[in-house]
C-alpha cells in the first residue's frame, strides 16, 4: 500500500510555489514598510497557553487542537494560531522593557483538526502582525488601512471590510446581562454547544454557524448600544480615522470573532470572488488589551490580525507563472559538459539563477526544456565556442541569438533581464 499525506494536509509542489512566493513577498514588503519586523515562534507550545488565551469554550480548544503528551508527561499542542505564541514570547523575553511600541509579523504553518473544505486544511499557513504598546484608536485604523492596501496590491478588488467594537470589561459585563436576558427564552432552541456557551461565555453564541442559532443571534441586542463612554469614544475615533484614510468599511454589530481574548475593535475582510465559495473570510483581527497581562506580563494594549494564505491564493487573479531560472546553459556536445558546469558556476557568482542539463541530451531537447521552464536566456556552449572564449546567447522570448565573449556573457544576461 502506498503512503499518502495525512487527510487535510497537502503538498505544495514547485509548480504552485511561485504564487506563494509572490504573496509572501508582497506581505513582507507591505508590513516592513510600516515598520514591522519578522519574528518566528515554535510550532509546538504548552497546551495551557492556548487554553488560557483562546478560551476553553471555543471550538478551537474544545474540538480542533492537535494535542499530545510527550515523553516527559507534558501536554503539548501544535499551534492553532499565532497570537498566543507572540504574546508568550513578548512576555517571556520582557520585550516591553526595551521598546515602548513593538511591531512584529510572522508567516508559518498552523494546525487545526477541523473538517477539510475548499481552501481549508488541517495544516494551513497564516501570516499576521501584532502591535504591542499602542492603545489606539489610530493604530487600529492604520492596521486596517494597511491590510486593505495589501489585499488590493494582490489584484483582489472585490472585498468588504467589516468593523465592530465589543468594548472592555465594563462593556462586556453590561452587555452579557442584556444578551443573557434575550437568549434565555430561546435556550432550548439553541444547539448543545451554545447552551453550554450561555453559561461560560454568552458572546460565543453570536459566532455560532448552526442555522437556527444564526437566526436567533440575528435579533440579539446590538453590543454597540452598551459601549461605555470610553469605548464609544475609541470606536468613534476609529471611524473618523478610517474615513480620513479613505478606507471603506461597514459596521456590523454582531461581529465578535471566534476567540475569547478580543477586546474593543474587531474587524474582518471578506472576499467576493466566486472561487472562494461560502467560506469568504480572507482575514480577521482586533484588539486584545488584556492578553499580555493575563500571561503574567505588564498591562499592555495590543492589536493584531491573521490571514489564511490558502484563502488569499484562491482570491488572487492568475498571472503568468514566474521562471525560477534566468539562464539555461546548453552543452552542445558531450565533450564540453564539464566546461558547461564551469560556465554555470561563473554565471551564478554574478547573482544569476542558472540551470543546465549535464546528462548529454541533444541540442534540441535541451532548448525545449529551457523553453518549457519559461527561461528567458539560453547560453549554448560547443567546442568551437570553448576554443574561441565565447558563447552563443539566445534570448528565448525575443527569438534573437548572437555570439558574445564569455567574459561578457553575465553582463549581457543581466541587461536582457533588466529589460
DSSP states of 220-247: SPPGGGG--HHHHHHHHHHHHHHHHHT-
80 alpha carbon, distance to own chain's centre: 13
Query: Does 252 fall in a domain?
Result: yes
* Band of residue 341 on the pLDDT scale cut at 50, 70, 90: very high
Give the residue from 226, 167, 230, 176 showing the smallest Cα distance to 199: 176
* pTM for this model (two decimals): 0.86
192 in any annotated domain: no
| Same domain as 272, residue 413 | no
CA–CA distance, 419 with 373 (Å, rounded to integer)? 19
**pLDDT at position 278 over 60:** no
Question: What is the arithmetic mean of pLDDT over 140-155?
Answer: 95
Give the confidence band of 273 by pLDDT, cuts at 50, 70, 90.
low
Q: Are residues 308 and 335 in the same domain?
A: no
| pLDDT of res. 233 | 96
My answer on whether 119 and 233 are in the same domain is yes
- Average pLDDT of the chain, as a whole number: 91
pLDDT of amino acid 327: 95
Q: Are residues 281 and 365 in the same domain?
A: no
**Half-sphere exposure of residue 408: CA atoms within 13 angstroms, side-chain side:** 11
Q: What is the pLDDT of residue 279?
A: 58
Please tell me the predicted confidence (pLDDT) of residue 160: 93
21 pLDDT more than 70? yes
Buried b (16+ CB within 10 A) or exposed e, 63-97: ebbeeeeeeeeeebbbbbbbbbbbbbbbbeeebbe
Cα atoms found within 13 Å of the Cα of residue 371, Cβ hemisphere only? 11
For the segment 254-268, the average pLDDT, to the nearest whole number, is: 83
Q: For residue 94, which phi and psi values (nearest 5 degrees)?
A: 50, 45
How far lies 57's CA from each of 50, 126, 199, 350, in Å?
Answer: 11, 23, 10, 56
pLDDT score recorded for residue 48: 92
Question: Got the DSSP string for 254-268?
Answer: T---S-TT--SEEEE
Residue 405's domain spans which residues? 327-417
- What are the grid coordinates assigned to 287, written together? 484588539
User: Do residues 398 and 304 both lie within one domain?
Assistant: no
Q: Answer whether residue 2 shows pLDDT above 70.
A: yes
- Per-residue pLDDT of 374-416, as tens digits, reads 899 999 999 999 999 999 999 998 899 999 999 999 999 999 9
List the CATH number of the domain containing 57: 3.30.930.10
Amino acid at each position: 500500500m502506498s503512503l499518502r499525506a495525512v487527510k487535510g494536509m497537502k503538498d505544495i509542489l514547485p509548480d504552485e510555489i511561485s504564487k506563494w512566493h509572490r504573496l509572501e513577498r508582497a506581505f513582507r514588503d507591505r508590513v516592513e514598510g510600516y515598520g514591522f519586523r519578522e519574528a518566528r515562534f515554535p510550532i509546538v507550545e504548552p497546551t495551557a497557553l492556548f487554553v488560557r488565551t483562546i478560551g476553553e469554550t471555543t471550538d478551537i480548544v474544545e474540538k480542533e487542537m492537535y494535542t499530545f503528551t510527550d515523553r516527559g508527561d507534558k501536554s503539548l499542542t501544535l499551534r492553532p494560531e499565532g497570537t498566543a505564541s507572540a504574546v508568550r514570547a513578548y512576555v517571556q523575553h520582557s520585550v516591553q522593557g526595551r521598546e515602548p511600541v513593538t511591531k512584529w509579523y510572522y508567516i508559518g504553518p498552523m494546525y487545526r483538526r477541523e473538517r477539510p473544505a475548499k481552501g481549508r486544511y488541517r495544516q494551513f499557513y497564516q501570516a499576521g502582525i501584532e502591535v504591542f504598546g499602542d492603545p489606539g484608536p489610530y493604530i487600529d485604523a492604520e492596521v486596517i488601512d494597511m491590510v486593505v492596501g495589501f489585499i488590493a496590491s494582490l489584484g483582489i478588488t472585490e472585498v468588504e471590510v467589516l468593523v465592530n467594537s465589543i468594548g472592555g470589561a465594563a462593556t462586556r459585563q453590561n452587555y452579557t446581562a442584556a444578551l443573557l436576558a434575550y437568549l434565555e427564552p430561546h435556550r432550548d432552541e439553541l444547539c448543545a454547544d451554545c447552551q453550554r456557551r450561555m453559561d461560560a461565555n454568552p458572546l460565543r453564541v453570536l459566532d455560532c454557524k448552526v442555522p437556527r442559532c444564526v437566526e436567533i443571534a440575528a435579533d440579539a441586542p446590538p453590543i454597540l448600544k452598551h459601549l461605555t463612554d470610553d469605548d464609544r469614544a475609541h470606536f468613534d475615533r476609529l471611524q473618523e480615522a478610517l474615513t480620513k484614510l479613505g478606507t471603506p468599511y461597514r459596521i456590523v454589530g454582531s461581529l465578535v470573532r471566534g476567540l475569547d481574548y478580543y477586546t474593543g475593535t474587531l474587524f474582518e475582510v471578506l472576499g467576493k470572488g466566486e472561487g472562494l465559495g461560502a467560506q469568504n473570510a480572507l482575514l480577521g483581527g482586533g484588539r486584545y488589551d488584556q492578553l499580555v497581562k493575563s500571561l503574567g506580563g505588564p498591562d499592555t494594549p495590543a492589536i493584531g490580525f491573521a490571514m489564511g494564505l490558502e484563502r488569499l491564493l484562491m482570491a488572487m487573479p492568475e498571472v503568468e507563472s514566474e521562471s525560477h531560472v534566468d539562464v539555461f546553459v546548453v552543452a552542445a556536445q558531450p565533450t564540453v559538459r564539464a566546461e558547461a558546469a564551469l560556465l554555470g558556476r561563473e554565471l551564478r557568482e554574478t547573482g544569476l539563477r542558472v540551470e543546465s542539463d549535464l546528462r548529454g541530451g541533444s541540442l534540441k531537447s535541451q532548448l525545449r526544456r529551457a523553453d518549457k521552464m519559461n527561461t528567458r536566456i539560453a547560453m549554448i556552449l560547443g567546442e568551437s565556442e570553448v576554443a574561441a572564449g565565447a558563447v552563443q546567447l539566445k534570448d528565448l522570448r525575443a527569438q534573437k541569438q548572437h555570439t558574445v565573449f564569455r567574459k561578457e556573457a553575465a553582463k549581457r544576461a543581466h541587461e536582457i533581464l533588466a529589460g
